[in-house]
Chain A
Amino acid sequence: MGEALSAVVQRLLRLANRRCFTAFGLWCTRQFRKTVVRGFSHLFNRRLLETCFKELKARLISEERELCRVVLLGWMDFVARAHGGELYWQFRELLPDALGFRQPDGSIAIDCRERRICNEPGLCLKAYLFCKKRRMEKELRSLAAGTPYAKAASVLLGEGDIPEECGGLPKNCAVRC
């Protein structure tokens, strides 16, 4: 009985640690934004990340509001980067279509070097997800506070959770240590 209990406790502790690692990995990707966690991701609870990603993806499919879609994609980006491997490539694959950047001939309708993209905040948010340029990050930080664009920007910059008006953060994505 004692041994069995100890095994369960050990297992729970291990799980808790992996959860902590996962939370830490997710925190890192949100802080550094461009990082793809390689080498460490086997320490994470990848199943947890996959469940979160799936839930975000399901919400993305039914979400029609552009800004909420951007926010969901922002979180999918963090989760995919923390997971690394297959999930990350899956995400990169779906991104141009999800952002509406894919043209009928298969080409991408956006040029990451074009500075004027950030003249339009909505486009700037999407372009940042796709291009991850430092100057776009600067532009996003300068968006007028209190506007919906600024709220979405704070999520992409790893400084905010999915806002309530976009359905809040899915339960499976609230990875805490």
Chain B
Amino acid sequence: MQYPYSTPPGLTDKGPFGKFKHIEQNQVIHKIYRVTETSILKSKAGSICEPITVECSKKVLKWLRGQGIDARFVAEFPDRFVVRIGDGKLPEWFLKSFSEIEAKSIREVLSFDEGDLLYYFGDASQSMSPYDVLRRKSYRCPALRRLSIKVYYERPEYWEALESLFNRYADRSLLEFVELDPKSLKDIWDLDRGGVKLALLDGKTLESRFREIAEIKSRSYNGLSTLQLVNGDRLLGVVGGRGEEYYIANLLSGLLFRSGCIPYYVELPTTRSEYLKLPRALYVGVGLRKVGEEYAKGIAVLMTGRGNVVGYVDKDFHIRGRSMEFKEEELEEFVGGIKEALEKYRNNARENPELVVAVRSRKFHDAEWRTLKRNFARRWLRLSSGGLLLMSSYKYVGIGPSRAVEVGRTMVDGGLHGVWLVQLSKFKSAVKLGYFYTGNDATLPLAAYIYLRSLDFTSLTQARTSLPPVKYARNYLRWKYPS
């Protein structure tokens, strides 16, 4: 089967054994350097401050830029600089003052990469690609009967386009199980009814009735929205194009997930004990959104290591404050909400997660680490679990595909704190992973990022950098506070 686009795992990208071939592209445009020798720098720059603190790094950076070196420093480790490598070579004095922290292949660091993940579907079938969701039964579905999804369309041609794509690409076994139930949309508030719905709306309606749609959408959240919105005009544009198959696979996977199914199970290709915490960890995605001059930051979505959303901190409960980080009293309030959701999960699932992973797009600060550690990583508390990993991820600079570099690592009270840059094979730039971890394996956050990313059933593209529970929480805030 051939995938025409470059984002999903196309046949051309596969090696002889069906795994991703590591294509070495000369796109390494940033390298990481650490200040090792200040004497040469001093003689060149006049007076260079020491030790290298954030304030000092700002001065060094200013001077470096004056010398034509495009750089930035890493706030968590101010003696580490990320330098853009242009056509010209770096001057000799630079190479004498700074030493490179070399990037390695992800496989070298973890012994696997995202191309090695195995996707298990129903009927014991396995695949190297999540796009097989079109051809295989879901790994698990709570519905024993046929799954019926209501499709509200604003114009009949939207439904016709969807139906033709669905019939063309969905396998017969899937068609037997999933049924699309079309209905003409009479009133936008029809979408405010129970059950999983797909709405094919006119681009103009999406704009003109945005406020009402946002309200309906935010009301449909239960950790995850049960309403899937599709711009019908975009759908028409997809028909006949190269991305048809991906489009329908993404849509179907999302709908199955919203209906309570787990489209596939992701198996970690490792026997490393530390990484085996990940399938049974509990993931807490924290959302953040700027609302006027403030930030909404209290929404959290709880997700299991199988990818299903099992709880959320009440959608009406979220904190609005001036800073992106939590202040101590805000965090205590938020932690209370998470504990409640965690307790509910524990009682329902009768499972005590060995590891709690809190993820957000903004980096965690020392004070946040201390509060969260006190609440979630103390074994003698009933509510505590074995370990705690705080992880932040956001797009950074390019370091080259399939590469990872450990920018820095340090011991903090009760664990490890560090920063990784990781660029998966289809990423255009690296993702900066900052972490605090109660354990002692510094590579776990990297493995957790790859694993967690693969559990996003609402977007199957290999180029996505966001992590599902954060995305779900953020999307909720997006609809709750439309700009």
Contacts and interface: CB of A to CB of B under 8 A. Distances in A.
B124 A123 contact: no
B277 interface: yes
Interface in A106-157: 109-111, 114, 116-117, 119-123, 144, 146-149, 151-152
B124 A152 contact: yes
Most chain A C-beta atoms within 10 Å of own C-beta, residue among B124, B126, B141, B273: B124
A120 B279 contact: yes
B276 A67 contact: no
A45 B480 CA distance: 71
Given A109-B271, A110-B271, A114-B273, A165 B125 contact: yes
A52 B277 CA distance: 39
B443 to A, nearest CB: 16
Interface stretch (B115-123, B214-222, B369-377, B400-408): B115-123
B309 to A, nearest CB: 16
A151 to B, nearest CB: 7
B283 interface: no
Interface of B: 118, 120-126, 139-141, 265, 267-268, 271, 273, 276-280, 305, 354
Nearest to B280: A119
A65 B125 contact: yes
Interface residues of A, number: 27
B265 A67 contact: no
B124 A67 contact: yes
A65 B121 CA distance: 11
17 contacts: A65-B126, A101-B271, A109-B271, A116-B277, A119-B276, A122-B267, A123-B267, A123-B271, A146-B141, A147-B122, A147-B140, A148-B124, A148-B139, A149-B265, A151-B124, A165-B124, A166-B124
Interface string A9-34: 00000000000000000000000000
- Candidate in B123, B125, B141 with the most chain A CB atoms within 10 angstroms: B123
A97 interface: no
B118 to A, nearest CB: 7
A148 B267 contact: no
A163 B122 CA distance: 12
Contacts of B305: 119
A104 to B, nearest CB: 12
A66 interface: yes
Contacts, number: 63
Contact of A68 (B124, B140, B267, B280): B124
Contacts of A67: 120, 124, 126
Given A67-B120, A146-B141, A151-B124, 19 more contacts: A65-B124, A66-B126, A67-B124, A109-B271, A111-B273, A114-B276, A116-B354, A117-B276, A119-B277, A119-B305, A120-B279, A122-B118, A123-B271, A123-B276, A146-B140, A147-B140, A147-B265, A148-B124, A163-B124
A117 B125 contact: no
Contacts of A66: 118, 126
A116 B276 contact: yes
A43 to B, nearest CB: 35
A23 B180 CA distance: 49
A168 B373 CA distance: 51
Q: 6 closest A-B pairs (Cβ-Cβ)?
A: A116-B276, A67-B124, A148-B124, A119-B280, A119-B276, A165-B123
Contacts of B273: 111, 114, 116
B125 A122 contact: no
Contacts of A109: 271
A166 B120 CA distance: 14
Contacts of B280: 119
Contacts of B123: 148, 165
Nearest to B118: A66
A161 to B, nearest CB: 14
Contacts of B140: 144, 146-147
Nearest to A68: B124
Contacts of A68: 124
A120 B268 contact: yes
